[in-house]
Amino acid sequence: MDDLQADLDRVEVIFSRDYSQRFKPGFEHEDRNPSRKPLNPERSLGSVIKLLTPSPSYTDEYNEWLSLIPPRILALVFMIKRFYLNSWGSNWRRNITVDEIDGAAGHEVKMFDRQIIGSYLRVGFDEGDKWRLFKVRQDFIAADKVQMEDDISASVVVSAAALEGCPETINTKRSVKLVKNCEYRLFQRPDDAIHPGFDKQTSWT
C-alpha cells in the first residue's frame, strides 16, 4: 500500500455514503433497509459485499461508482467490516497502521499491530498458462485437514432398518454408514503432484 491515509480517506467515503437511492424503481424490496451504512451492526459482511457488488438492480450511476473502486480499497473495506466493533464508533482508523521503515511509511497493512494476510484461491489457468487467482472473503479461515490415509472411498448413510442381513449388534433404529474403496476407478493423485515440479511438497510418480 503506497499511501495508507489516502486509501483510508477513500474507505471513509464508502462508509459515509448514502445508499438509500441505489436501486432502480421496483427493486427497493431487495434490501429491507437500504439506508443502512456498511458499518451498521445490522449489516453482515456478506451484506456489505453485496452492497458493493454491481447489480442489474442498481442504477447505472451507482454501478459506475462501484466500478471505480479499486480492489485494494474494497479489500480494506471488507477487512475493517470483518473486525469492526461497535465500541470503535467512527474512530476505526486508529486500528489500521503501517510500520515506519527508514523514516518512511511501510507498505504492509496491520490491524491491532498484526500483519494482515489475504487468502487466495487458484481456479485453474488462463490461456497463457498463468494462474487464475481469486481473493476469498475476509472471514474465510482455511481448515487444517488431518489425513490418516490416502485411500479414495465413497460412502452413504442409510437407515439400518432398510438393510438386509445386518448383524444383531446393530440397532436397527439408527443409521449406518457404508464405505466402499473406489481407487480402482479413480487416479491415485488428484492433486497438483501429477505435474512434475509443480507441487514441491509432494513426490510425483
Average pLDDT by stretches of 10, the chain with 205 residues = 87 96 94 94 93 96 96 90 91 89 85 82 90 82 64 83 84 86 62 67 54
pLDDT for 1: 66
DSSP element (H, E) containing 198: none
pLDDT for 35: 93
CB 58 within 8 A of CB 80: no
How far is 54 from 52, CA to CA, in rounded Å? 7
| 161: DSSP letter | G
Amino acid at residue number 3: D
pLDDT for 70: 93
Model-wide pTM > 0.85:
no
Which residues face 58 on adjacent strands? 23
pLDDT for 205: 46
Q: What is the 3-state secondary structure (H, E, C) of 93-160?
A: HHHEEEEEECCEEEEEEEECCEECCCCEEEEEECCCCCEEEEECCCCCCCCCCCCCCCCCEEEEEEEH
| 2: DSSP letter | -
